[in-house]
Amino acid sequence: MINSISFHRFRSLFRFAAAALILLSSGLAATGQTRADSLREVLLTQPEQLLVAAHRGDHLSHPENSIPAFQGAIEAGAAVLELDVRQSKDGELVVVHDRTVDRTTDGRGTVERMTLEQLKKLRLLHNGAATEHRIPTLREALESVKGRILVDIDFKAGNMEAAKACYAVIEELGMEKQVLFFLYDAKQVSKCLALNPDVLVMPRAHSADEVHTIMQEPLIRVIHIDESFYEAGLVRMMREKGVRVWANSLGEYDRQAQQQGGSYHSFAERLPLVNIIQTDYPEALVNYLSEKK
């Protein structure tokens, strides 16, 4: 059973992380490093420091997967921005979560059956109302946050040719060391690592057995796990081997936090060894973890 000591350690480690990042940031001008460079260094070398990931950007304040939502994630203090990538009919990489544009825009249709020109004519919705904002291309999205935050690309295009095109954009922008490339199918890990080993690949594990299989690849430094198979011994083993543990507070934990004045106590008690947390409320989670005892 997780006790209150683990809970307080959970928050104190984040406060330590925040203080360390401030110190790192203060020296950026002298070293030529960006904030993203510092965050990658923390991610790779300081597993005791918690990092907050913003799901689809700050999408509760702005249209999801929009440039303003990405900027909002940075302003909220998130370390990682998550965005979703699909491919249009004419092969362009665009940032859209759903298979269709029906929910998120004022149009209708399937992304892969629409050209970039057609997609760009649509207006993004926020709280059901059309806005002035448009679907960004992957290039536009990455350019808008270059050097300022780590980017988790939730790759939904589903084929290696699209993955190669995605990597080409990353490389052209010189952002190889700013990106996490998220895969639902761990069997694709080796193919993606072969494209460019500087791009961190983050596979999703669906069981403890799959975690062990994934960790046979020495270049893997982040694994997305689920609460259903979270176990302290497993997670400690991951961290001891230099692998970051990513889990979501999306859904029930986020809802509980909003009902309890922004408290993520329940998540901290249940998954205290997770060291990257993805949330729909990045500012609330950052503020909560930064609170003094």
Domain range summary for the chain, segments of one domain joined by +:
4-83+147-290
**Residue 28: what pLDDT?**
55
**Whole-angstrom distance, CA of residue 190 vs CA of residue 46:** 25
The CA distance from 285 to 281, in Å, is: 6
Closest CA to 179 of 37, 14, 20: 37
Residue by residue, pLDDT tens for the chain (293 residues) are 344 445 565 665 555 455 445 445 545 555 679 999 999 999 999 999 999 999 999 999 999 999 999 999 999 999 999 999 999 999 999 999 999 999 999 999 999 999 999 999 999 999 999 999 999 999 999 999 999 999 999 999 989 999 999 999 999 999 999 999 999 999 999 999 999 999 999 999 999 999 999 999 999 999 999 999 999 999 999 999 999 999 999 999 999 999 999 999 999 999 999 999 999 999 999 999 888 43
Non-local (6+) Cβ contacts of 172 within 8 A are: 139
Residue 167 CB contacts under 8 Å (≥ 6 apart), including other chains: 181, 192, 195, 196, 199
Single pTM value for the model: 0.91
Q: Closest Cα to residue 271, out of 234, 243, 222?
A: 234
Which CATH class name applies to 4-83+147-290? alpha beta
* Whether 64 contacts 282, CB under 8 Å: no
* DSSP three-state, residue 48: coil
The beta strand positions in the chain, using DSSP E, are 51-55, 80-87, 93-95, 125-126, 129-130, 150-155, 179-183, 200-203, 222-224, 244-248, 276-279
- Residues marked active site are found at 55, 97
Token pair for 215: 């960790």
Distance CA 122, CA 132 (A): 9
